[in-house]
Amino acid sequence: MTTILKYSLLFMLLIIYGTLEGTVSQVRAEDVRQRIARSYGVDWFDQVEQIQYNFNVKFGNKRVSRFWIWEPKIDKVIFKAANSEEYTTYNRKEINETTSEKLKKIDSWFINDNYWLLFPYRIAWDGRAKVEDIGTQPLPMGEGSAKCVVVTFPSSGGYTPGDVYELFLDKDYKLTQWVYRRGGSSESGRAGTWEDHRHVGPLTLSLAHQGENENFRLWFTNVGVRLSGAAGWMVAN
């Protein structure tokens, strides 16, 4: 075998190995994405006709509360602020450049609050998000370590493009903590817990999140789902 042929074969093997390695990594990432979502019941979500919840957050001395009903099959949203008796109803498919600034602001709140509640589902639904399993890492809060998965959203589009989340998972692939890096910032980011996992019909949802100190706390109340063909709401228990 000539030297040229040997190097040609070696080069081809390196290409094949690199391609296979990339494919295996991609399959591994897709697998962990789905395992996270399935641990929360994503396979049952297509039965959900409506989901309702109060989003509550405390920043220092400031507290915000917002009530939502979302119909995921048609992307219809009903919103009410805590300090108002007025309900706002709209369809997210109709949001465009001509939409009023008031409604755009409400929709940005909806995305924020909905992602806090349904983030494990969202990473399965959003194929644009890059998911990378980086193995066991020290927990950002407290002692110990856990499997860490990094989720990176696209650098364009959406209300907060380029956001990065480091997810710390338990043995069942449920979130225990995360770190949020706005726009993919290289700074330390904002850490928080994922606590109070409850069954809400066939779904599992985390209803409480605590920041690194008492200045930040986020929680959900009045959480319920209405399933296809069901007359009433199934509430968190």
Q: Where are the domains of the chain?
A: 3-235
The model's pLDDT over 97-129, given as tens digits with 9 standing for 90+, comes to: 999 999 999 999 999 999 999 999 999 999 899
What pLDDT, in 10s, does the model give residues 135-178?
Answer: 999 999 999 999 999 999 998 877 788 999 999 999 999 999 99
Output the six-digit token pair for 32: 């962990």
Query: Between 211 and 9, where is the model more confident?
Result: 211
Rounded to whole angstroms, what are the CA distances from 5 to 8, 12, 117? 5, 11, 58
Structure tokens at 31: 């697998």
Predicted local distance difference test score (pLDDT) of residue 9: 55
Beta-carbon count within 10 A of 80 CB: 17
| Fold (CATH) for 3-235 | outer membrane lipoprotein receptor (LolB), chain A (2.50.20)
